[in-house]
């Protein structure tokens, strides 16, 4: 029997039950693959996966993107809790990035190789807030008027985690954490064609900036306008986590963001990020970027 799938009340997304992701020999992979491409977001309640189980599930979809080239960490804690159980200092770089992730983004668009998919599991959730919200960039592109589609066709934007964090007042240094590197900034099209479904989607978010050919003010206004239009119902879905929940989503089709929560409460998530196919997700970086080597 296939798992039970319940479509979300949005243009995308589904809840999947009656499957145990910790038993890969029993998972109907062809069914999961088809559901993933169709719905772009699959939420699996009450799984309680170990880190190894989560990585094994994520590896079905491709090679895992490592925290750093020299640190083979495949299941990355996204947590404001330190090893001794206390809450982390909010001024730390990685906590600043966690707070930055409360803005709409797609994973690793600021890296040479952008992410294909993400698998996120909940370990500890705050009493209020801390949800994750996704937005359907396929439906957003479809809903654009013809004039806007014509305007953005062929346009690109640079992507940078330095840029997005700086807008929040966080000045990061190369080498201090995930995404803070010295490779430069990749230039990516504003409209992405999905390599498997051929559907077009907006490829924007908080890391995107400085559209070549536009004045800085015009570029910022365009990106803000697209983001505001895209991230509206029925193209958005918010999930209130319970410990044990697992979500799988397609970074080539969706944006996502964490929702705010009280700073005196713990939120512990575990993230495994699937690297994109270099044939479709690779982007060269600019030699003129301020962080280029």
The mean predicted confidence, pLDDT, of the chain is 93
217-255 burial by CB neighbour count: b if 16+ within 10 A, else e? eebeebbeebbeebbeeebbbebebeeebbbbbbbbbbb
126-136 pLDDT, tens digit per residue, is 999 999 999 99
**Per-residue three-class SS string for the chain:** CCCEEEECCCCCCEEEECCCCCCHHHCCHHHHHHHHHHHCEEEECCCCCCHHHHHHHHHCCCCECCCECCECCCCEEEECECCCCCECCCCCHHHHHHHHCCCCECCCCCCCECEEEEEEEEEECCCCECCEEEEEHHHHHHHCCHHHHHHHCCCEEEECHHHHHHCCCCCCCCCCCCCCCCCCCEEEECEEECCCCCCEEECCCCCEECCCCCCHHHHHHHHHHHHHHHCCCCCEEEECCCCCCEEEEECCCEEEEECCECCCCCCEEEEEEEECCHHHHECCECCCCCCCC
**pLDDT of res. 292:** 35
Q: Predicted confidence band at 289 (pLDDT cuts at 50, 70, 90)?
A: very low
Flag whether pLDDT at 271 surpasses 70. Answer: yes
**Spatial distance between the Cα atoms of 132 and 138, rounded to a whole number of angstroms:** 19
Dihedral, CA of residue 274, residue 38, residue 17 and residue 58, to nearest 10:
-10
275 closest CA partner among 161, 118, 134 = 118
pTM above 0.85, yes or no: yes
According to CATH, the superfamily of the domain at 4-281 is Clavaminate synthase-like (3.60.130.10)
Q: Predicted confidence band at 67 (pLDDT cuts at 50, 70, 90)?
A: low
Flag whether pLDDT at 178 surpasses 80. Answer: no
Tell which wins on pLDDT, 177 or 219.
Answer: 219
144-157 pLDDT, tens digit per residue, is 999 999 999 999 99
Q: Where are the domains of the chain?
A: 4-281
């Amino acid at each position: 029997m296939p798992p039970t799938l319940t479509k979300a009340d949005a243009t995308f997304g589904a809840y999947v039950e009656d499957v145990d992701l910790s038993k890969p020999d029993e998972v109907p992979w062809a069914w999961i693959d088809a559901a993933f491409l169709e719905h772009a977001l699959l939420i699996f309640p009450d799984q309680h996966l170990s880190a190894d189980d989560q990585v094994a599930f994520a590896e079905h979809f491709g090679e895992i993107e490592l925290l750093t080239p020299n640190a083979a960490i495949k299941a990355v804690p996204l947590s404001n809790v330190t090893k001794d159980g206390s809450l982390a200092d909010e001024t730390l770089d990685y906590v600043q990035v966690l707070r930055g992730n409360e803005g709409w983004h797609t994973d690793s668009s600021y890296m040479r190789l952008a992410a294909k998919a993400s698998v996120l599991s909940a370990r500890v959730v705050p009493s209020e807030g801390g949800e994750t919200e996704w937005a359907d960039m396929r439906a957003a592109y479809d809903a654009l008027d013809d004039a806007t589609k014509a305007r953005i066709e062929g346009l690109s934007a640079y992507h940078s985690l330095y840029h997005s964090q700086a807008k929040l007042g966080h000045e990061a240094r190369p080498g201090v954490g995930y995404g803070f590197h010295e490779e430069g900034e990749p230039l990516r099209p504003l409209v992405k064609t999905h390599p498997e479904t051929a559907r077009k989607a907006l490829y924007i978010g908080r890391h995107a900036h400085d559209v070549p050919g536009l004045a800085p003010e015009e570029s910022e206004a365009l990106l803000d306008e697209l983001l505001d239009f895209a991230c509206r119902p029925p193209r958005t879905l918010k999930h209130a986590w319970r410990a044990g929940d697992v979500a799988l989503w397609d970074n080539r089709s969706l944006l996502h963001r964490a929702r705010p929560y009280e700073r005196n409460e713990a939120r512990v998530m575990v993230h495994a990020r699937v690297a994109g196919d270099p044939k479709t997700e690779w982007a060269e970086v600019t030699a003129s970027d301020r962080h280029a080597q």
